[in-house]
Amino acid sequence: MIDVHKHLVIEDATPEKLIVHMDRLGVEEVWLLTWEALDGGTYEGFIRVSSQAVFSAYRQNPGRFVPFCGIDPRVEDAPEKVRKYHEQGFKGYGESKIRLCIDSPWLQELYNVCGELEMPVLIHIDVPLTGPEWYNPDVDGFMRMADKFPKTAFIGHGPGFWREISGDSDSDGSPYPTGMIKPGGRLLTLLKGRSNVYADISAFSGYNALSRDPAFANGFVRDYSHRLLYGTDEQTTRHIELLRGMNLAEGEFFRITKGNASRLIR
């Protein structure tokens, strides 16, 4: 299997601890993501995970880690820096988790470069501009960017992304809604109409969306197995247990846990 969402440092994770956890679950590779922001020191709970640290772990364990760079788009010559990272061996961009709107001009420059270089872009999306800790709000902006940059593979993640699985998200301001899923969710529209959009099921946001209404989730996972990516963002087993409990067909399970990720990063 491939886990598309892991970090160093967070939860005291080291390369050695991650590999032990991977082996226990039968995970072959993880996408090792960064968290970088020019103003990250102002965020409560911000933990910097540098591209350099990620690349060092990858160099020591090239068969287990896939390195992602996460340069802040506001730094000087950010697009050129992404190109250099790609030449060095970085395979994707993310996690993009900064206090900018998804369609900001700075980020659009990077989306364009990533499309040229075939580097998938993994974005954390929050509930639009609520509370002190928001990053990349606005799932509608996500839709616009996916349409504007069709050559770029966009991967959505986070509470502002997964709450849109239900059609009542505008009337329910909770980042982690509960209860039955209502028809008309933006997430289904986003996935159905855009072949360059994928969904990372990691963290509590993904787990909550796929466990709050089991009957709906079973159908959703089967219908969109070609667009879902197994990720955890934590040192637990609940995401894989959730998938295994759905009695998916062998092909569906393979696409979610490895096939889709392998196609995005050859």
Residue among 128, 118, 117, 121 nearest 107 (CA): 121
Check whether 125 has a pLDDT greater than 90: yes
Q: How far is CA 35 from CA 70, 223, 235, in A?
A: 6, 32, 17
For the chain, the structural domain boundaries read 2-264
Write the pLDDT tens digit of every residue in 254-266: 999 999 999 999 7
Nearest to 93 by CA among 139, 51, 136, 58: 51
Query: pTM of the full predicted structure?
Result: 0.95
Residue 35: the pLDDT is 93
Digit-coded pLDDT (tens) for 87-112: 999 999 999 999 888 999 999 999 99
Mean pLDDT of the chain: 93
CATH match for 2-264 among 3.20.20.140, 3.40.50.720, 3.90.930.12, 3.40.50.920: 3.20.20.140
Q: Rounded to whole angstroms, how far apart are CA atoms 73 and 5?
A: 21
User: Is the pLDDT assigned to residue 134 strictly greater than 80?
Assistant: no
Instruction: Find out whether 15 and 8 touch, Cβ atoms under 8 Å.
Output: yes
